Structure 1
Amino acid sequence: MSTASIAARSYAATPAQSVAFLGLGVMGYPMAGHLSRAGHQVTVYNRTQARARAWTAEFAGGRHAPTPREAAAGAHIVFCCVGNDADLRSVVLGPDGAFAGMQPGSIFADHTTASAEVARELYAEAQRRGLHFIDAPISGGQAGAANGQLTVMCGGDEAVFAQVAPVAQAFSRAFTYMGESGSGQLTKMVNQICVAGLVQGLAEAIAFGLRAGLDMPRVLDVIGKGAAQSWQMDNRGKTMAAGQFDFGFAVDWMRKDLGLVLAEARRNGTRLPVTALVDQFYGDIQDMGGQRWDISSLIQRLR
C-alpha cells in the first residue's frame, strides 16, 4: 500500500508515545501508518517479515522486530490486529509473545475481531502480569482503515480506555467505551448481525429489481434518499448490481465473524434464525469460489 493511498488527515495534539503494532494485514498496515503519521514511535511485527520491512521502508522513523516480544519491549501501548483467536493467542502468549516483553502498567489494545471468551482470558492474564488489556474490535472496512475513519468499540477498564483513546484517534473517527472486558467483542457481534441481514435484504431487492427490468442505479439513487438508506446501499448497492466484488470485506472473514456470533448466541440462549440462514448463504458463496469476494456477493446466489 502506497503512502498516497492513505488519506491525509489532521491529528489532534497528542504527545508522541512509543507504541507497537502487531499484524500488518489490509487493516493493520494503514492503522500502523496513521500512528506513525501522528508522530508516535512505532515498532511493527508481522508474521511475514517482508511485509514488515515494506512498512518500515514506507514510514520513515518506524522499525520492525522479529518477534512480538521484541516489538512490545518499551512500548506504552501495543496495538494488534490479526486473524482470529488462535492468531491472537500466538502473538500474545508464550516466550516470544507480546506479554513477555511488555513493561508493567503498559497496555495491549486488541483490534482483532475475536471471541468475547478470548478477550476475557487475555484480560485476566494481563491483570496477573501487571499489564492491561482492552478488546477493541473495529468496523469500517479497508477503506475506513486507509482513511483513518474506523469505528472502534472497546471493552475493559475505563481508565485504561481513556489512556488509549487519544493515541487511537490517529486511525479512528469513533473510539467508544462499551463496558467491561468482552463488551467490545460483543458489540462487534451486534454489528455483524445487522450487516448480515442488511446485505441479504439488499441482495434480494437488487435481484428483484434487475429481474423486473428496472434501471437499478436510478432505483438505488431514489430509495437511498428514503427509509431504505444504509451504508451498504450507499457503498455497495451499485457494485452489487454490476456484479463487482473484488474489494472490501471478504466472505471468509464474514463467515469467521458469524461463527463467533452463533457460538455466543448458543451460549447465551439468543435465537438468531436470519443470521444463521445468511451464514449458510455465505457458505454457498464459498462453494461457488467466492471465498475472497466482498460480502456483497450474496447477490450471486440469486442471479
Structure 2
Amino acid sequence: MAKVAFLGLGVMGFPMAGHLRTRGGHDVVVYNRTPAKADAWVTKFGGASAPTPREAASGADFVFSCVGNDDDLREVANGPDGAFRGMQPGAVFIDNTTASATVARELHAAAKAAGIGFLDAPVSGGQAGAENGVLTVMVGGDEDDYAKAQPVIEAFARMVGHMGPSGAGQLTKMVNQIAIAGLVQGLSEGIHFARKAGLDVEKVIGVISKGAAQSWQMENRWKTMAEGRFEFGFAVDWMRKDLGICLAQANETGARLPVTALVDQFYADVQAMGGRRWDTSALIARLDGVGGKD
C-alpha cells in the first residue's frame, strides 16, 4: 500500500482515484477545485480530501493529476499551492491529463530540480474505460520513475507502456487522437452511405466488423451513431482541444496532418450545431443533417 494523492475528480479522475483506493488498496487523499466533488468522492470511497494540491500531496509517495489543460496542470503541479511544494524527495508525480509535450517537459525539469519524479501519462479508453479500470496509459519520463509508478498505475489500467523520455507519453496520445479522428469520420461516412443506399446497417456492421474494417469505434459506437444518440462519452469540446494540441505539435515538427485538420473543422461544425458536449461519434450528425446541416 502506498500513500497516494489524486488531483482532479472529473469524469475520468473520479473513478480512476476510486480504483486506486478500492482495487489498489492505497491510502488516497483527493483534491478538486470544486470541494463538493471531493466530498462526494470521500463519501463513496473513503480516504480523505484536502483543500489544496500542496496539502493533498504532503507525504505522498505518488501524486496523480487529471485536469483540463496545460495551464490547469501548471497550477496544480507547480503553482503557489501546487503539489510540488508539498511532495517529499523521491516521490513521483504522474500526470494523466491530455496536454502538450511542451508542458510535460517543463514540469519534468521543474520536478527534477525539486528532487521528485514526473511522468506524463495520458490515458485512452474514455469514461467507460475509467469506470471499468481498463484504460490504456502511455507514459513518458525517466525509466526509474516509471518502474516505481507502473504497479500503482495498473490499478486503473489494462495496458501501461513506457514510450520514452519526458513528453513521449503526450506525443503517443497525439498519435492515438489522430488515428481516432480519421476512424470516426470514416465510420460516420460508412453508416451514412449504407443508409442512403438502402442497406440494413445492423447487417452491414455485423459482416464488416469481422473483417479489415473492424475497430473499437465500430464495435462500441455504430449502434448509437445509427440511432442518433450522442449524450454520453468523450465530448466534442475535449476532442477539439486534443486535436488542437496535435496540430500545434505538427506545426512545430513539420508533420503533415491534412485529414486531422479537416476532421477538426468538421468537429467545429458539430459544435456550431449545439453538440459541444456530444460524444465524438457525433460526426455522423453533420452528415445526416441534424441542426439544419446537409
TM-score w.r.t. length of structure 1: 0.94
Q: What SS does the aligned partner of 2:155 have? A: coil
One-letter code aligned to 2:77: V
Match of 2:154 among 149, 154, 169: 169
- Whether 1:57 and 2:43 are equivalent positions in the alignment is yes
Structure 1 Cα separation of the partners of residues 223 and 185 of structure 2: 15
User: How far does residue 215 in structure 1 lie from its aligned partner after superposition?
Assistant: 1.0
Q: Which stretches of structure 1, 4 residues or longer, exceed 3 Å deviation after superposition?
A: none
- Whether 1:102 aligns to 2:87 is yes
Residue by residue, what CA displacement relative to the aligned partner does 1:198-251 show, whole Å, maximum 9, x if unpaired?
Answer: 000000000001111111011111110111100000000111011010111000
* Aligned mate of 2:67, from 77, 82, 95: 82
| Residue of structure 2 equivalent to 1:44 | 30
* Percent pairwise identity: 68
Contact 1:178 1:187 in 2 (8 A): yes
TM-superposed deviation, 1:95 = 2.2
Amino acid at match of 1:72: A
Matches within 5 A, 1:185-196: 185-196=170-181
Which of 101, 108, 125 is the equivalent residue of 1:140?
Answer: 125
**1:244 — aligned with what?**
229
CA–CA separation in structure 1 for the residues paired with 2:96 and 2:206? 34
1:125 aligns with 2:110: yes
| Aligned residues of 1:210 and 1:216 also touching (Cα < 8 A) | yes
Residues in 2 aligned to 1:112 and 1:94: alpha-carbon distance in whole angstroms = 16
Q: Which residue identity does 2:191 align to in structure 1?
A: I
Deviation at 1:94, TM superposition (A): 2.3
Q: CA deviation at 1:39?
A: 1.1
Question: Residue type of the partner of 1:76?
Answer: D
- Give the superposed CA RMSD: 0.6
Q: Which residue number corresponds to residue 217 of structure 1?
A: 202
Partner SS, residue 24 of structure 1 = coil
Letter in 2 for 1:164: A
2:16 counterpart letter in structure 1: M
User: Helix, strand or coil: the match of 1:169?
Assistant: helix
| Paired letter, 1:301 | R
Structure 2 residues without counterparts, runs of 5 or longer = 289-294
| Matched residue SS, 1:271 | coil
Are 2:283 and 1:260 aligned?
A: no
| Count of aligned pairs between the two proteins | 287
Could you give the per-residue CA deviations for residues 139-171 of structure 1, whole angstroms, max 9, x where no partner exists?
000010000000000000011101001111110
Tell me, in whole angstroms, the C-alpha distance in 2 between the residues paired with 1:57 and 1:230.
38
SS of 2:198's equivalent in the other structure is coil
* Offset from partner CA, 1:7-28 (integer Å, 9 cap, x none): xxxxxxxxx0000000000000
Alpha-carbon distance in structure 1 between the residues aligned to 2:230 and 2:274 = 12
Shift of 1:90: 1.1
Shift of 1:288: 0.3
TM-score, reference length from structure 2:
0.97
Q: Tell me the distance in 2 between the aligned counterparts of 1:226 and 1:244.
A: 25
The question of 1:292 aligning with 2:289 is answered: no
Partners of 2:67 and 2:275 lie apart in 1 by 22
- Structure 1 unaligned residues grouped into runs of 5+: 1-15
One-letter code aligned to 2:36: A
Distance in 2 (alpha carbons) for counterparts of 1:134 and 1:54: 28
Contact 1:220 1:238 in 2 (8 A): no
